Structure 1
Amino acid sequence: MDFMVNMLFSILIAFGITFVAAKIIIPLLRKAKAGQHVRDDGPQTHLVKEGTPTMGGIIMLIGIVATSFIFSSGDIRYTVFAVVTVLAFSVIGFLDDGLKLFKKRSLGLRAWQKIVLQLVAAAVVACLAYFWLDIKTVLIPIAGTEWQLGAGFIPFTMFVLIAMVNSVNLTDGLDGLATGITLINSATFILIFIFSVLGAALISPEIQADMSNMTMFAAAVLGTCIAFLCFNAYPAKVFMGDTGSFLLGAALTAMGIATEMQLFLPIMGFMFVLSAISVIIQVGSFKLRGKRVFRMAPLHHHFELAGVPETKVVSGYMAATMLLSVGGLLFFFA
């Protein structure tokens, strides 16, 4: 009973901290002229967003980190692991955002700089999971079996982490899109963690405590996303920037690693994956055939240019994510 109460309070406190932080930080970002530079070759409807404060990921980071530690208890290794994961990638995103603002252009870190930093961060996170948390297996959806990876767990987890972070980053192109999808995915993970806690009560108090702390982390992400959506939904008063999109991708992957459910992430977060796939198809088609498959990539911009209102694209993606998350839950119970 106390566990469920703490989880609900975690959501509420994360919401409160994030909401207050947004009220304080957004005016500061405006004053610092930390405005978004909109691409000239993007949808023309986005030109009105020029100058909207960005780097809002800082706001989310405050809510998630503070709440996670407030409600963690006992052995907090899993909490530290999750927080280190989001901090590592938030810093990379912050550097990228900072360069964009400083140079007044839409590109920040060079591609090779970004991938090198992500590889280093991913290696640290994967090694922490493997050596410190002693996680060496991955659950296989539908089959209901574990994949014993051994040392192969490290490169596999690095790949999943980098792929997820960049997929969320590519999806962050419409008001409230990445926030809304993450909100649904984190709510799904809360349910998974709750059942993990209940199941662990019959097996191991240690596992129960670990999953309890991860529940509080997922609840902090959920509460933070709800609060941030108040400012990030159309018409957005603030953008999360790479600071936020990298943070959210890392947060979801940390939840997947903690439950050995990395292979479930492409299912529940398929709308993120779809953004990455659409970019790969677009670039590959143009280089090989000299023709584009979509009006613009990622896919959500294709729908925009096809005349679908931005709000409908976002609501459609969120509805699809709800169905995919239900599918992920069914695979988890299987």
Structure 2
Amino acid sequence: MIGILVAAAIALIVSIMFTPYLVRVFSRQGFGQEIREEGPQGHQSKRGTPTMGGVAILVAMVVGYVVAHLFNTSESPTASGVLVLFLTVGLGLVGFLDDFIKIRKQRNLGLNKTAKLVGQLVVAISFAVLAVNFADKNGLSPASVRLSFVRDLDIISFGTIGFVVFCYLLVSGWSNAVNFTDGLDGLAGGSSAMVFGTYVVVTFWQFRYNCGLASPQPGCYYVRDPLDLAVVAAAAMGACIGFLWWNAAPAKIFMGDTGSLALGGLVAGLSIMTRTELLMVIIGGLFVVEMLSVVLQIAVFRTTRRRLFRMAPFHHHFELAGWAETTVIIRFWLLAGICAMFGLGLFYSEWLSFGGSR
């Protein structure tokens, strides 16, 4: 438990202190965000705001994780924790390249779709292959080849090759979903903090009721290294909150694809490692809705030549309808919180259904 608190506190402090340093450095270098001309006109005033702030989130998260283990030497870094960090940082590097190209070429488009997908493919496949190895003394690997809700579903098994494909689709989907959500000041950062805070509870609960303990209890979980995953989730939560201090409207810096792709990868990695892939659809419901709004907008326009929303992702729809940006952000934060609480409630009720005691 101490490691979780240390990871969150250190990540929070590093993020709060390091972010303004990046603001000054990136401002001097001219690393400003380009704004879409067809977007809400109120966003044009944000042109030139420093971007690539996701670097602060990644640095704070990694530092928080490392310091937590240095502070609590009885708990060593685990395969599960290191692999999730690898996935997060790897996708952050893909996003960093995307952001850097945007800045260099002074345009709103960085890596082309093929290059970005290839980058996500390499990182996701490397993660998937490694995740089904490194079995512990009980034969439990960090990831399972079965589809899961709150635990593995015995009726659906992908096999190793199928799991690698599924993992790529999951990582690509979640990283793009968070990327779509990152369109208003603090929206993605605040929503991500809620998701990771929820997973601190989920992973710590899995640690408390782990089937690998000497006396497993009803409803226990077959999850490898849940306590270390709680440390990762806590570090990510602290890093997002610290960044939000400077990213909340009016933002002093944007996280860019560096942050949004990394956070999406972390969402995917946590869902895979904790055997809660379908539950994450509920906990991260806001991200899912944002991505669906883009998919529906494209599908409807291509079939009817009419737009379903004024603009997608659909947080811009409400802006164009006359809502103030801060109103949209706060109401979407509320939706993100409702999704997280509902998902946590389902997680707990499922445990009770197995005979867990209150």
Category of TM-score, reference length = shorter chain: over 0.9
Structure-2 residue corresponding to 1:311: 326
Structure-1 residue corresponding to 2:22: 25
The answer to whether structure 1 residue 327 and structure 2 residue 336 are counterparts is: no
Provide structure 2 residue ranges, at least 5 long, that are not aligned to the other structure. 70-74, 136-140, 216-221, 351-358
The structure that is helix-richer by fraction is 1
The answer to whether structure 1 residue 173 and structure 2 residue 173 are counterparts is: no
Between 72-81 and 62-71, the greater mean CA deviation after superposition: 72-81
2: distance between equivalents of 1:45 and 1:201?
Answer: 53
The answer to whether structure 1 residue 251 and structure 2 residue 277 are counterparts is: no
Identify if the C-alpha distance between structure 1 residues 126 and 302 changes in structure 2 by more than 3 Å, giving closer, same or farther: same
Q: Is the 8 A contact 1:183 1:226 kept in 2?
A: yes
Structure-2 residue corresponding to 1:132: 134
**Aligned residue type for 1:199:** Y
Q: Is the 8 A contact 1:171 1:275 kept in 2?
A: yes
Identify if the C-alpha distance between structure 1 residues 75 and 35 changes in structure 2 by more than 3 Å, giving closer, same or farther: closer
Structure-2 residue corresponding to 1:216: 231
Q: CA deviation at 1:68?
A: 1.2
**Aligned residue type for 1:224:** A
Q: Is the 8 A contact 1:75 1:210 kept in 2?
A: no
Q: CA deviation at 1:75?
A: 4.9
2: distance between equivalents of 1:150 and 1:329?
Answer: 29
Q: Is the 8 A contact 2:10 2:63 kept in 1?
A: no
- Deviations 1:225-247, CA, capped at 9 Å, x for gaps: 11000000000000000000011
Structure-2 residue corresponding to 1:107: 109
Q: CA deviation at 1:23?
A: 2.4
Q: Is the 8 A contact 2:152 2:275 kept in 1?
A: no
2: distance between equivalents of 1:281 and 1:215?
Answer: 35
2: distance between equivalents of 1:177 and 1:96?
Answer: 20
Output aligned runs, 1:146-295, within 5 Å: 146=154, 147-151=156-160, 152-200=162-210, 203=213, 210-295=225-310
2: distance between equivalents of 1:178 and 1:153?
Answer: 28
Between 281-290 and 207-216, the greater mean CA deviation after superposition: 207-216
Identify if the C-alpha distance between structure 1 residues 62 and 204 changes in structure 2 by more than 3 Å, giving closer, same or farther: farther
2: distance between equivalents of 1:144 and 1:37?
Answer: 44
Q: Is the 8 A contact 2:128 2:167 kept in 1?
A: yes
Structure-2 residue corresponding to 1:11: 8
Structure-2 residue corresponding to 1:39: 36
Output aligned runs, 1:77-88, within 5 Å: 77-88=79-90
2: distance between equivalents of 1:32 and 1:75?
Answer: 36
Q: CA deviation at 1:194?
A: 1.1
**Aligned residue type for 2:318:** F
Identify if the C-alpha distance between structure 1 residues 144 and 96 changes in structure 2 by more than 3 Å, giving closer, same or farther: closer
**Aligned residue type for 1:262:** E
Structure-1 residue corresponding to 2:138: none
Aligned-partner SS, 1:212: helix
2: distance between equivalents of 1:251 and 1:71?
Answer: 18
- Deviations 1:283-327, CA, capped at 9 Å, x for gaps: 122222111111001000001000111111111111112111122
Q: Is the 8 A contact 1:179 1:229 kept in 2?
A: yes
Q: Is the 8 A contact 1:74 1:209 kept in 2?
A: no
Q: Is the 8 A contact 2:223 2:274 kept in 1?
A: no
**Aligned residue type for 2:130:** L
Q: CA deviation at 1:144?
A: 8.0
Between 320-329 and 128-137, the greater mean CA deviation after superposition: 128-137
Between 295-304 and 267-276, the greater mean CA deviation after superposition: 267-276
Q: Is the 8 A contact 1:75 1:209 kept in 2?
A: no
Q: CA deviation at 1:330?
A: 2.4
The answer to whether structure 1 residue 62 and structure 2 residue 48 are counterparts is: no
The answer to whether structure 1 residue 53 and structure 2 residue 50 are counterparts is: yes
Q: Is the 8 A contact 1:82 1:251 kept in 2?
A: yes
Q: CA deviation at 1:70?
A: 2.0
Count of residues in Structure 1 that have an aligned counterpart in Structure 2: 329
Provide structure 1 residue ranges, at least 5 long, that are not aligned to the other structure. none
Structure-2 residue corresponding to 1:117: 119
Alignment TM-score, normalising by the size of structure 2: 0.88
Aligned-partner SS, 1:162: helix
Q: CA deviation at 1:278?
A: 0.9
Q: Is the 8 A contact 1:86 1:248 kept in 2?
A: yes
2: distance between equivalents of 1:202 and 1:294?
Answer: 49
Aligned-partner SS, 2:225: helix
1: distance between equivalents of 2:8 and 2:87?
Answer: 20
Give the alignment partner of residue 99 of structure 2, picking from 89, 97, 101.
97
Q: CA deviation at 1:67?
A: 1.2
**Aligned residue type for 1:327:** F
**Aligned residue type for 2:79:** R
1: distance between equivalents of 2:152 and 2:104?
Answer: 50
1: distance between equivalents of 2:197 and 2:36?
Answer: 33
**Aligned residue type for 1:81:** L
